[in-house]
Amino acid sequence: MIPDALAMAAHFARTRWTLNFRDRMKLEAWQQARLYHFMREVLPRASYYRNLKVDVLADLPIMDKATMMGDFAAHNTRGVHLDDAFKVGFKAETTRDFAPLLGDLTVGLSSGTSGNRGVFLANPIERLRWAGILLGRALPQHLLVRLLSPWQPPLRIAFFLRANSNLYTTLNSRRINFTFHDLMLGAEQAVPSLNRNQPDVLVGPPSLLRALAVEACAGRLTIAPSRVISVAEVLEDRDREAVRAAFGVATHQLYQATEGFLGYTCEHGTLHLNESFIHIEPYWLDTGRTRFQPIVTDFTRETQLIVRYRLNDVLRVAEQACPCGRAERAIAAIEGRSDEVLWLPAHDTGKAVAIYPDLIRRAMLFASQAVSEFNLIQDGMCMTVGLLVEGDRKVAVERVRAELDTLWKVLGVATPTLAFTDWQAMAAGAKRRRVRLQNAPEELICAF
């Protein structure tokens, strides 16, 4: 529909050209104005917030997934019950027909173990706004020109997802040809269709992008995307290298969750938080203020309310300002979720020390080029390391052992027992999580 396309284009243009803050003070003033409007006009429409007396954001309680899911209907402005939303979401996933709506609302389910899945709701206006903002932040200049030139062929976007959604098909228009690829089917299955479609933009989790890079290097996949975008998993250096080797381009990131569109990569390759549309308070995890969990308030949404919602993700701040000059906070890396943080007792005090997944990833990378895949699970004072090795396994195991030993020493923590096993490939469509805390050491109090 033309009005829809116009609405999307308006959000797109606003994102790209108007909300382009260079001055932190101006950005914060804009956020305060939007928050004021949000707290007055939108917040009282959800029953949980209706009778709360608030002047400033800090007056509101901090929210987490369990609290929100426990009283879902009170946290959206349409009074939708969790059971009803789940019913629509599950039906879409089992039938692989992602068109059904709940009234006019799009329902999406986040990935996650059963019982721990998130739900999001979006009305038609939010859907168009989301699509416009996403394109405004994700497209490079030359594809933008192409998008806006009606005489040129439409932009082709290939999107790999665990589940499609009306949210994504909103992108489909005369100027955009959006193709959903089912992540559950894997990379190999997608090759013929990708070869036929020749996407300009390739979007998917980095483990999948890497598998596609392998297909391309083997000569089976013959596409030349001019933008590759990583979503949903931690992007590693090796993923970046594989994509560059296969397609000759850098990998950009979109930091997108059930809780909103949280960040994007700028033209310098730096990940910035999407602070023109979302307010983010850092919940600092260390005294040096190098890592934090984001507390998100989405002042752009109006159906499902995300208000002072503390995410499980661990973000590491960039040490230097980005040369692009954007006022939105720069992030060095999304390190993973909090259950990917390991804990060991300090040598001297016995107190719990956090070992961030990024430190483990770096140690493994330094250990040996021969290690092509790994995962590590902590169970008390034992760590099980799964390795996929090209070449001499014994040598690789010893190097990994030495590199991890160095890490424990640098951190000043007790040395855990290491057990080595074969690396197990993930199930198709599963999320890649390299480092996982199963159980912390007994009697260790582990909290940020």
Binding site for Zn ion (CB under 5 A): 266, 268, 270, 322, 324, 326
Show Cβ contacts of residue 357 under 8 Å, excluding neighbours closer than 6 positions.
234, 314, 335, 336, 340, 341, 342, 434, 435
Least distance (Å) between residue 266 CB and Zn ion:
3
Least distance (Å) between residue 318 CB and Zn ion:
9
Please give the DSSP secondary-structure letter assigned to residue 14.
I
Closer residue to Zn ion, CB minimum distance, 248 or 323:
323
Least distance (Å) between residue 320 CB and Zn ion:
11
Q: Give the C-alpha separation, 44 to 63, whole Å.
A: 16
Closer residue to Zn ion, CB minimum distance, 213 or 273:
273
Measured from the Cβ of residue 300, the count of other Cβ atoms closer than 10 Å reads: 21
- CA nearest to 73, candidates 45, 51, 92, 93: 45
Q: Give the C-alpha separation, 50 to 68, whole Å.
A: 15
Least distance (Å) between residue 54 CB and Zn ion:
33
Q: Give the C-alpha separation, 16 to 358, whole Å.
A: 32
Least distance (Å) between residue 8 CB and Zn ion:
25
Length of the chain equals: 448
Question: What is the three-class DSSP state of 198?
Answer: coil
Angle at 355 between CA 69 and CA 363, to 5 degrees: 125
Least distance (Å) between residue 21 CB and Zn ion:
12
Closer residue to Zn ion, CB minimum distance, 252 or 434:
252
Closer residue to Zn ion, CB minimum distance, 106 or 274:
274
Is 306 in contact with 296 (CB distance < 8 Å)?
A: yes
Is 327 in contact with 26 (CB distance < 8 Å)?
A: yes
Closer residue to Zn ion, CB minimum distance, 321 or 426:
321
Least distance (Å) between residue 292 CB and Zn ion:
19
Least distance (Å) between residue 330 CB and Zn ion:
6
Q: Give the C-alpha separation, 387 to 374, whole Å.
A: 5
Is 364 in contact with 429 (CB distance < 8 Å)?
A: no
Please give the DSSP secondary-structure letter assigned to residue 44.
G
Question: What is the three-class DSSP state of 360?
Answer: helix
Closer residue to Zn ion, CB minimum distance, 301 or 329:
329
Closer residue to Zn ion, CB minimum distance, 81 or 268:
268
Q: Give the C-alpha separation, 206 to 190, whole Å.
A: 15
Which tokens go with 158?
């290939």
Least distance (Å) between residue 328 CB and Zn ion:
8
Closer residue to Zn ion, CB minimum distance, 322 or 404:
322
Angle at 237 between CA 312 and CA 244, to 5 degrees: 130
Which tokens go with 281?
């308070």
- CA nearest to 399, candidates 363, 433, 354: 363
Closer residue to Zn ion, CB minimum distance, 329 or 436:
329
Locate tokens 């005369």: which residue? Answer: 174
Closer residue to Zn ion, CB minimum distance, 242 or 327:
327
Least distance (Å) between residue 138 CB and Zn ion:
14
Angle at 181 between CA 265 and CA 170, to 5 degrees: 65
